[in-house]
Amino acid sequence: MWENPLIVFGNLSIPFLLSNFLTLLGFFVAAFFALMYTKKFYEGRGAPNSWRFVVAGLLSISISELGQFLLSYITDPSQMVGAMILITFDVGISLMVYGSYLLYRGIK
């Protein structure tokens, strides 16, 4: 079911694995820091919906990146797996855009 990530793409296998892993790690770290910022900054108060949408979008994109990372090494990926990854990414982007719009509307 799984390809060997160190040889599946020939000479590009290790750089591809490393770049995908760093992207995955970057999104999860960004989502973690956004969550910690929200908890600390809005301590004892409810965070505004705009910021909640941005954080939820980051988390959704992080999950999508995990799927994209694993999809490269599955021997027989179904179309459904690819569609779910794209839908998760699209939902994350939509949440971030809506949250950013709410932030903009809040200063207007």
Neighbours of 99 (CB within 10 A): 21
Q: At what angle do helices 49-71 and 79-107 cross, to 10 degrees?
A: 160
pTM: 0.85
Query: pLDDT truncated to tens, each residue of the chain (108 aa)?
Result: 788 888 888 888 999 999 999 999 999 999 999 999 998 998 888 889 999 999 999 999 999 999 988 888 887 777 788 889 889 999 999 999 999 999 999 887
DSSP 49-81: HHHHHHHHHHHHHHHHHHHHHHHTTBSS--HHH
Dist CA 96 CA 58 (whole Å): 7
* First-to-final CA distance of the chain: 53
* Coil, helix or strand at residue 9: coil
Could you tell me if 62 and 90 are in contact, meaning their C-beta atoms sit under 8 angstroms apart?
no
Tokens 């090494």 belong to residue = 73
